[in-house]
Amino acid sequence: MFALVPVLGLLVWLAYRKAVRYLSHLYFAIHVHAFVFVIQFASQLIRIGAILIAARSIVFAVITLTSEALVVPYVIAALHCVYGSTWASAIFRGIAALVGYITVVFAVTIVVGIAAVLTLV
């Protein structure tokens, strides 16, 4: 996922390409990825604690949904603060960039999976 940071930077650049250079968007993409990694790390720590106290099923579902649900509002709020856009613009552009990013991540995952299977044959 970290290798795709430039892709998110490019998608944010496409959404906010008026006056800022690509490098600023790349910094923003690094910031967003750092936030996602911190959230995932915290959720893994909580999951380990849940395993230790044997409260697995419901806790796993709640942790996963909560950690994933924090990412989209954070990205939208960060776009609003960093680029100074309106909330409506930040929501539209943020969701467009995230949908594009998720599509690229999905495509890369499929290509890597196919390549892995082909190397086993």
Q: Count other Cβ atoms within 10 Å, centred on residue 85.
A: 18
User: Residue 10 has what pLDDT?
Assistant: 93
Question: What is the DSSP secondary-structure string of 35-52?
Answer: HHHHHHHHHHHHHHHHHH
User: Residue 57 has what pLDDT?
Assistant: 66
Nearest to 13 by CA among 100, 71, 105, 91: 100
- List the pLDDT tens digit at each of the 121 positions of the chain: 778 999 999 999 999 987 678 999 999 999 999 999 999 888 888 777 777 666 666 767 777 778 878 889 999 999 999 999 999 999 999 999 999 999 999 999 999 999 999 999 7
Question: What is the DSSP secondary-structure string of 7-18?
Answer: HHHHHHHHHS-S
